[in-house]
A and B are shown apart, each in its own frame.
Chain A
């Protein structure tokens, strides 16, 4: 299958600071590919170089197909209404408006509001709609769910899956490990200007192990426990607390942040 995107030896510096140190990757047609990394890792710079919005120092980038771009920080004139923006962008792209797509993103519900009156989630949906106006083959989504509530996130995830089912290639930048794991076919982790990992989420898990963090809040304070077997650790911890007659106020289990995975990966590699 022909790749949707090929990146070869991509290098980019800001002044004397080298942000991208010459890496390769390719994205297959029809896959959801995530660029992960901590803040400042170079995700947005990489995306903007591929999108043609930023000049790069050296390397080669090939994008096969029409691009649709949702930027991380996006804005529109304060008084523009969603459908006016959609019509403006459609006219410049010389494409017909896909009302089914707009309805799917809930643009109809907000058509009477001005941009300044939209919530963060509504703005994100509008910018996604604008990115999809030209019926692109490759869609770039930079931190698409940042600032969204749970409902907004789930709705956007559904839209992204729908796009994939229509054969679109989706490239998203995120630092949300859980989101990436549920959505993406493959991920690349950017660290210190290089790609530290490129593969599937399960390959990453195999590499760094499956770590869980159990946060327990009791009357005596908060404690966090690290484990790779969440069930056994929970049973044991709860048993111990019950024995000591300590009341549990709250329990939270999470997979840890990307930084924690990095630390683990770096530690293993060392």
Chain B
């Protein structure tokens, strides 16, 4: 196994040992799903058709904005990066391996929601499952790329907690997963459309996989990749 693959496998193990990831990728999103799934489907039975997508947006947002960045700060805001650099390990390794590991954890978490929702709350399964999974993968990647920027820009955990909430909360409240987006005032609707959550939500809905819902996510991902590359390069040249 080469260094990169070993790094990816190792990061997966480290994430399994880390309690914070367990909390942000599994425990909190799944408890939220169990509670809110029950409430939503009792109060508004029509939400059964969008429950899976709503709960997935919540899980992915939490894992990517609250779960991933602290792991990145542990490496890039500390002496770990210096040790990597001094011993011939490329700086991008931490980012790429954490990204991939978080992607797999979030896919698992979303798969659990997908499996449990129809059984527990009679939620409707997506009609076109391949498109749904493709949309889900795209949404996770885009959201993790924003989480990566947070982890590379913010240098201490206390600040990060605050800033991550500034991204996480509007993503949840203004994306249309809690209540229809057209009930919001215009300016809040506009703000909501800045966050990828509303685009990802629409992309995952039945018949939602189209360029109209995709272009913004691609744009955000490309911008995030460029920003991450610049930030890594800055760290390297320091």
Contact = CB atoms under 8 A, between A and B. Distances in A.
Contacts of B155: none
B3 interface: yes
Interface in A126-153: 127, 130-131, 133-134
A15 to B, nearest CB: 15
Contacts of B237: 55
Contacts of A53: 82, 85-86
A71 B83 contact: yes
A108 B6 CA distance: 20
B17 interface: yes
B126 interface: no
A114 B17 contact: yes
B84 to A, nearest CB: 9
B212 interface: no
Contacts of B54: none
Contacts of B85: 53
Interface string B209-238: 000000000000000000000000000010
Interface string B76-114: 001110110111111001000000000000000000000
A71 B86 contact: yes
B18 A133 contact: no
A130 B14 contact: no
A80 B80 CA distance: 12
A91 interface: yes
Nearest to A90: B3
- Among A75, A84, A94, the one with the most B-chain Cβ atoms within 10 Å of its Cβ is A75
Contact of B88 (A77, A80, A89, A114): A89
Interface residues of A, number: 28
A92 B84 CA distance: 10
A77 B2 contact: no
B74 interface: yes
A170 B14 CA distance: 33
A184 to B, nearest CB: 22
A114 B17 CA distance: 10
Interface residues of B, number: 25
Interface string A56-85: 000000000000110101111111100010
Contacts of A79: 14, 17-18
A100 B74 CA distance: 31
B78 to A, nearest CB: 5
B6 A74 contact: no
A88 B7 contact: yes
A75 B88 contact: no
A46 to B, nearest CB: 15
Contacts of B75: 77
Interface string B1-27: 111001100100110011000000000
A31 B78 CA distance: 32
Given A84-B13, A91-B6, A73 B79 contact: yes
Given A84-B10, A84-B13, A91 B1 contact: yes
Nearest to A127: B83
Given A88-B10, A91-B6, A92-B3, A75 B80 contact: yes
A78 B80 CA distance: 10
A87 interface: yes
B7 A134 contact: no
A69 B82 CA distance: 10
A51 interface: yes
A51 B75 CA distance: 20
B88 A71 contact: no
Interface string B51-76: 00000000000000000000000110
A93 interface: yes
B74 A131 contact: no
Given A91-B1, A91-B2, A71 B13 contact: no
Interface string B33-53: 000000000000000000000
21 contacts: A53-B85, A69-B87, A71-B86, A73-B79, A75-B80, A78-B74, A79-B14, A79-B18, A80-B10, A84-B10, A84-B13, A88-B6, A88-B89, A89-B88, A91-B6, A92-B87, A92-B88, A92-B89, A93-B88, A127-B83, A130-B83
Given A71-B82, A84-B10, A114-B17, 9 more contacts: A69-B86, A76-B83, A77-B74, A79-B17, A80-B10, A89-B89, A91-B1, A91-B6, A92-B89
Question: Which 9 residue pairs across A and B have the least CB separation, nearest first?
Answer: A91-B3, A69-B86, A79-B17, A92-B3, A75-B79, A92-B89, A79-B14, A73-B79, A75-B80
